[in-house]
Chains A and B, each alone.
Chain A
Amino acid sequence: MSAARVRIARLDEIPIADDGRVPSRIVRHHLGIQAFGINAWLSRGAGESVINDHDEADTGDEELYLVLNGHVVFTIDGEEVDAPEGTLVFVEPDAKRSAVAKDEATTILAVGAPAGRPYKTSGWELWSYLRPKFEAGDYETVIDELERLIEEHPQYVALRYNLACAESLAGRNDDAIRHLTELIEIEPEAARFAREDSDFDAIRDDPRFSAIAGEPEPGGAAP
């Protein structure tokens, strides 16, 4: 049973998560939306990235962007798309896309979900806060924070996955194996990512790892 049938927020009061690359207001997590992803990405200034270069091949998400204010230039599959306020840009999962701000203050609303199957919340929004510490190699702080967050949000598989990564990188092999085992029970698809992820190099040769994650694809092809 959800806490409230209706939840209200002003967009400019929703907390900002900063992954060290692009800050975003974490709309979906803040409102407790389950059926689709939605965030608002903010530019740090003119010439700065607003949407990181990426595709959604792993998630299969279609994404729709709406420039709420400011002005950006998208690059999609190598093609530039000028996008002033009020522009809608719809991108299929496999297309490479990024956006750079032309104006100081720019906000892009991004809505996403996979077509033909249900949307699953992963909690990557909360990972954004920890990513800079992870990149800096401060694994022990990241592990403590993730354990606290997972207790609060046990459904968020991205947090569990990154906990196992941080433990593997911190040399806590037993913890990494244990948490990866728990995760793959909840989300079997995580095995596919773990097989190809260099964060697990420290535990890759452990027989327990191949028992839970399986063997890499022949030839080591990325998923």
Chain B
Amino acid sequence: MSRWRTAQLSEIEPRDRWLPIRDTLGVGAFGINAWLGREAGDWVIPEHSEEPTGHEELYLVLEGHATFTVDGEEIEAPQGTLVFVADPESRRGAAATEAGTVVLSIGSKPGEAYSVQQWERGWEYNQPAMQLYRQQRYAEAADVLRKGVAAMPENANLHYNLACFAALSGAEEDAFEHLRRSIELSPPFREAALADSDFDPVRDHPRFAEVVGE
């Protein structure tokens, strides 16, 4: 294999709403992907924290215009804006304010060697599941991820997402079991679950408190 590889950003096949730059080029030292907001009003960076990974993340608006929300603060980000979120606990997301918005995201954890994020490893399951989730077809989304956790039983991210979809589709026992497993594999998912509205349908259930250790 040659010691270099090249690609055109515009020719990378999107996976759902993101361009898999890291995987396409075989980058092993940091995470790097681009996110797409096809229409004005679409989200570009889904709201999340980096608690499970401990990553610093840098976003660069390559095309269009995005509005970031970081810990409740709105940031206008036209093309050429860099938004650096140093604290993994910060909740961040971005919406496109122009059609055709593209945001580059780069991440890794200070002081640690990079390893590929679990959501990216599980993308073959996460992608169709997220599409169903956005159409509020929660039971079908959960079914996709049941296959995912069968194939990748150590992937905490797939267990966590399955727990969300199970909670939303009324499969309470499944929700608690997979949330418990995700926290067992990756303890920061506990904090994530406490802040995640996907668990609202089961939040008052005594087993939820038991699983998150409240």
A116 to B29, CA, bound (A): 7
A113 to B5, CA, bound (A): 17
A76 to B32, CA, bound (A): 22
CB distance from A119 to the nearest CB of B (A): 7
B6 touches A89 (CB 8 A): yes
Q: Show 29 residue pairs from A and B whose CB-CB distance is below 8 angstroms, ordered by the A residue.
A: A2-B86, A2-B87, A5-B85, A5-B90, A6-B70, A6-B73, A6-B90, A8-B75, A8-B83, A9-B82, A10-B82, A31-B84, A33-B86, A34-B110, A35-B108, A62-B27, A76-B4, A77-B2, A86-B9, A87-B6, A88-B6, A89-B5, A90-B25, A92-B4, A95-B4, A111-B32, A115-B113, A116-B29, A119-B110
CB distance from A114 to the nearest CB of B (A): 6
A64-B25, A116-B28 known; A33+B58 contact, CB < 8 A: yes
CB distance from B92 to the nearest CB of A (A): 8
A83 to B111, CA, bound (A): 33
CB distance from A112 to the nearest CB of B (A): 7
A64 to B56, CA, bound (A): 18
List residues of chain B with CB within 8 A of the CB of A8: 75, 77, 81-84
The listed residue (A11, A92, A115) touching B60 by CB distance below 8 A is A11
A10 touches B80 (CB 8 A): yes
B24, closest chain A residue (CB)? A88
* Seed contacts A4-B86, A64-B32; 11 additional CB < 8 Å A-B pairs: A6-B83, A14-B82, A31-B58, A31-B84, A62-B27, A66-B104, A89-B4, A91-B4, A92-B3, A113-B30, A114-B113
CB distance from A36 to the nearest CB of B (A): 5
Count residues on chain B whose CB falls below 8 Å from chain A CBs: 47
The listed residue (B32, B85, B107) touching A6 by CB distance below 8 A is B85
B21, closest chain A residue (CB)? A88
Is there a chain B Cβ closer than 8 Å to A45's Cβ?
A: no
Q: Which parts of A1-54 form the interface with B (CB within 8 Å)?
A: 2, 4-12, 14, 27, 31-36, 38
CB distance from B199 to the nearest CB of A (A): 25
Is there a chain B Cβ closer than 8 Å to A170's Cβ?
A: no
List residues of chain A with CB within 8 A of the CB of B4: 76-77, 81, 89-92, 95, 97
**Residues 56-75 of chain B: 1 if any A CB is under 8 Å from the residue's CB, otherwise 0?**
10101010000000110101
B112, closest chain A residue (CB)? A118
A10-B80, A31-B82 known; A118+B56 contact, CB < 8 A: no
Is there a chain A Cβ closer than 8 Å to B203's Cβ?
A: no
CB distance from A89 to the nearest CB of B (A): 5
B75 touches A7 (CB 8 A): no
**Closest 9 pairs between A and B when the two form their complex, measured CB to CB:** A34-B110, A115-B28, A95-B3, A35-B108, A90-B25, A113-B29, A5-B87, A92-B3, A115-B29
List residues of chain A with CB within 8 A of the CB of B104: 66
A7 touches B111 (CB 8 A): no
A33 touches B30 (CB 8 A): no
B115, closest chain A residue (CB)? A116
Is there a chain A Cβ closer than 8 Å to B206's Cβ?
A: no
**Residues 20-59 of chain B: 1 if any A CB is under 8 Å from the residue's CB, otherwise 0?**
0100011111101000000000000000000000011010
A118 to B111, CA, bound (A): 5
List residues of chain A with CB within 8 A of the CB of B109: 35
CB distance from A171 to the nearest CB of B (A): 39
A61-B29, A90-B26, A91-B4 known; A109+B60 contact, CB < 8 A: yes
B106 touches A36 (CB 8 A): yes
List residues of chain A with CB within 8 A of the CB of B26: 90
Is there a chain A Cβ closer than 8 Å to B114's Cβ?
A: yes
A87 to B75, CA, bound (A): 28
